[in-house]
Structure 1
Amino acid sequence: MIRPTRATLLKTILPTFAKLYTELTRDLGLISFSLKHRVRWREAGLIKMVQLWEAMRETRARRLPLKALLSVALLAALVVVVSRLIYRPSTYTTVQPSLPSGAVDELLSYYEYDRSIPLEAEVSRLSEEELIVVYKVYYSSVNNVRVPALLILPKVGRPPYPCIVFLHGYGGRKEDAIPLARVAS
């Protein structure tokens, strides 16, 4: 059995939901209800269902057509299905166990170093554009490691320049700063 993906379900359900909602508001004579940015789908759906229920109670004397009653039931079902598809529970519901004693000290000791050690920086021009100059920089770090970096300077202006520092582990590449530097220049 082929199981539809969340995206496929949303593509098929949301247009039906919108069409049904339009028909309901027209058939029941309700004022259109717009979703505000700060109102979540689930809350908006429940508010709409309450409005529909109140409208049905007020118009009980004129007897709603069967199509409208079925539409309300289908709308309620769609609200539940759509809210279940969109809602994602937090993955951070458990507390991570703490590290064994001494583990943090062991990790931090790796980065303890004599601050008087020279950086031994090597700088070379990598590229030059209309607004910026890009330099490739290598410098010494702890445990005899050479660290690569980019230094991007604007061609115009005076120091101090605006600065963006990308650290290891931010999820991108050093070169991602080049378009930002173009915009900043």
Structure 2
Amino acid sequence: MSADERLPHRSPDRPAVKPCSTCGELTGRGYPSCLGCAEVVDERWLADWRELLAAERASAGSESERSLAARVLSAEAGTFAWTCGDWALRLRRCEECGGELGAGDPVCLHCAAADAARWTTSAAADHMLRLAVLALRAPHRRRMSVVYSLRLVLPFLIVGSAVTRSQLRAVRSGVLAGRYADLAELDHVVALANLPLAPWRRLPADPEG
């Protein structure tokens, strides 16, 4: 019996889209630097990880947790929930580049292999949420227009709203057109995807600035 069968996936209460009390942006958009946003977003992963720790009688922050992370990563695909696989990667350092395993140097082959392996186990309904979180944790591994676009939609993903690939492409078009600030003022995915584009102009170095 796989761990996914032994440990049913938990769905923590998801908050309504609202400003984060810590950073003021829509909750999730300040991830991972904002502690308030990080607490809400990471709960999606931590709920399963805590349950696995309890089942394996391991303690957070201890050597037993690090050993468990290594075991999760060496297990056959599908043995553990994908959320646990992602969290285990966060707890391990890459032996080649020294970064978070799977999220280190863009040219690190060891990280590339770890990142590719994680996608062998996933849930289709959560793919976009997972992609957004990974992009914001390792923005140096993706085009910045993609990172900014995923940052814009993350607040909606964490409350369970569906974001289609076509909507994400539309949001990215707005980002590339220099409309990040305008997009950030909107509070609905449909509105983000349908914002009329201004004349094309260069993507700013930091749309939050």
TM-score, structure 1 as length reference:
0.24
Greater RCO structure (CA 8 Å; 6+ sep): 2
Higher strand share: 1
TM-score, structure 2 as length reference:
0.22
Higher helix share: 2
